[in-house]
Amino acid sequence: MAASTRDRLYTRLWRVQMKNEKMYRLESLFKPLMWLLALLLATLVTGCGGASDGGSTAESASKSALASVAGPTVISTNPSDDAIYIPTSTHGSNNIVTGTVVSATFSEPMDPATLNSSPAGTQLTFTLKETSGNSVAGTVTMNAANTVASFTPSGSALNTNTSYTATITTAARNAGGTALAVPVVWHFTTSAIAFAAQAPVSLGTAGTFAILTKTGVTDVYASAINGDVGASPITGAAIGLTCPEVMTGLIYSVDAAGPPCKVTNATLLTTAIGDMEIAYTNAAGRTFPDFVNLGAGEIGGLTLSPGLYKWGTDVLISTDVTLTGGPNDVWIFQIAGGITQANGTRVTMAGGALPKNVFWQSAGEVSIGTTAHFEGIVLAKTLIAVKTGASVNGRLLAQTAVTLQQNSVTQPAP
């Protein structure tokens, strides 16, 4: 073999040997890493399986760690993004009118120092501006749980027919110091006319009763009541319902008389009656009505927007009436006379409106006609008479008596 050929062969063999040695060294280096990765993968699979308490604990710890890394978020706003026809002001239960409050609800407790106005009237983290760029003066406060931040304008009202932009910056931090990942921005537009939204009437302990009276309940068997029933100061003997008719809830009496399933609790009833009377006075005392003597008292066939309505007469519902608005909207009807709903007619809620936010304050007798359907909370100075086969989705709170004739009365969802 020629020397040159032999030298080339030796060189090739040497290169192959060196390549094999490098691969061996690489294999020696990565083999422990591969075993470690396999072990971690097995642990992860076991943790995700959920077949044992240990697996569940590992999964929970993992989720908790991820949540901690993710940080706080805004889960809802009021008004909601792109909402329209928002009231320019809010009419509180204490008759104080303020500009419509804008709020944000967080996924977890926040550090109030990063959101609250300090001093009052300053806003750095939570701001409200007209879309044109003009800033709205106001104060930001947190609720007791530090989960809701509310911007209350300094003025008595926002501008009508105006678009607004609310912003919460990443300066907002949770209790652990983790900031919002990105700013939160939402928009809404006010109504074209000045409008003050009403705050709900507080019912206090009376708000647990579907039927509450001072002089008793009469009944033509069988009615179906979903919610508590009570009478005070009259004896429990004046509660004319049988136990099976109160399908959910309890019957409360001031004494040992009354249906055998009754619960005797004079103290609770005294408080509830007092709260009922306070609620009546509150509803009757609201000022600055949005509508006065609408329809000369005849509201049948009308569609009623939220607000405060006032009549110096009786109110008649001769045909169906519709209350249309959102789940936070409030209707308060101040009626100097009584309410008469015709047979077979209906009060209907639309647009997400809720009967718990509808308050019928009536100085005179309330009469709900045969097979009619009624929605809302009745605060009556005198008698509430529900005629044969009528149904009520609300509360009947009377300062005299309630009479039933094979009716369905269901307290509204909270």
Provide the β-strand partners of residue 72: none
Q: Residue 39 above 70 pLDDT?
A: no
What is the percentage of the chain residues whose pLDDT exceeds 70?
82
Confidence of residue 121 (pLDDT cuts 50, 70, 90): low
* pLDDT recorded at residue 376: 98
Give one DSSP letter per residue of 163-182, joined into a string.
EEEEEE-TT-BBTTSPBPSS
Residue-level pLDDT at 151: 95
**CA separation (Å) from 268 to 62, 240, 400?**
48, 20, 18
The H or E element that residue 85 is part of is strand 83-86
Average pLDDT (333-345) is 98
**20: exposed, middle or buried (C-beta count within 10 Å: 0-12, 13-18, 19+)?**
exposed
Dist. CA 104–CA 80, nearest whole Å:
9
Nearest-angstrom CA–CA distance, 125 and 173: 10
Average pLDDT of the residues in 67-75 = 77
Q: Is the pLDDT of residue 292 over 70?
A: yes
> Taking 70 as the threshold, does the pLDDT of residue 189 lie above it?
yes
- Residue 52 in this model has a pLDDT that exceeds 80: no
Q: Which run of H or of E encompasses 68?
A: helix 53-70
Q: Work out the widest C-alpha separation in the chain, in whole angstroms.
A: 129
Question: Mean pLDDT throughout 270-291?
Answer: 96
Residue-level pLDDT at 344:
98
Structure tokens at 133: 């760029």
The whole model's pTM is what?
A: 0.74
211: confidence class by pLDDT, cuts 50, 70, 90: very high
Q: Are 152 and 99 in contact (CB under 8 A)?
A: yes
SS3 408: strand
pLDDT at 70: 76
Nearest to 66 by CA among 58, 77, 55: 58
Confidence at residue 216, expressed as pLDDT on a 0 to 100 scale: 98
Which residues are CB-contacts of 254 (< 8 A; sequence separation ≥ 6)?
231, 232, 233, 234, 235, 236, 264, 266, 269
Taking residues 75-101, what's their average pLDDT?
A: 90
User: What is the reported pLDDT for 18?
Assistant: 45
Q: What's the pLDDT score for residue 62? A: 40
Exposed/middle/buried for residue 401 (C-beta within 10 Å: 0-12, 13-18, 19+): buried
Alpha carbons 174 and 192: distance in angstroms, whole number:
38
Asked if 225 and 242 count as a contact pair (C-beta separation under 8 A), the reply is no
Q: Which of 23, 403, 81, 2 is nearest to 219 (CA)?
A: 403
More confident site: 45 or 200: 200
pLDDT the model gives residue 365: 98
Helix or strand run (H / E) with residue 223 = none
* DSSP 3-state of 33: helix
Contact 59, 84 (CB under 8 A): no
Alpha carbon 294 to chain centroid, angstroms: 30
Q: How many CB atoms lie within 10 A of CB 114?
A: 22
Tell me the three state secondary structure of residue 47. Answer: helix
- pLDDT-based confidence at 40, cuts 50/70/90? very low
Q: Which of 414, 387, 390, 391 is nearest to 403 (CA)?
A: 387
* Distance of alpha carbon 359 from alpha carbon 351, whole angstroms: 18
CA 144 to chain centre: 17
- Mean pLDDT, the chain, as a whole number? 87
Bridge partners, residue 103, by sequence? 78, 150
Which pair of structure tokens corresponds to residue 239? 């509660």
Phi-psi region of 351 (alpha: psi -120 to 50; beta: other; left: phi over 0): left
Please provide the DSSP assignment of 374-388 as one string.
Answer: EEEEEEESS-EEE-T
- For the chain, percent helix, then strand, then coil, each to nearest 5? 25, 35, 40
- Of these ranges, 41-50, 90-99, 269-278, the one predicted with the greatest mean pLDDT is 269-278
Residue 208 has pLDDT above 50, yes or no: yes
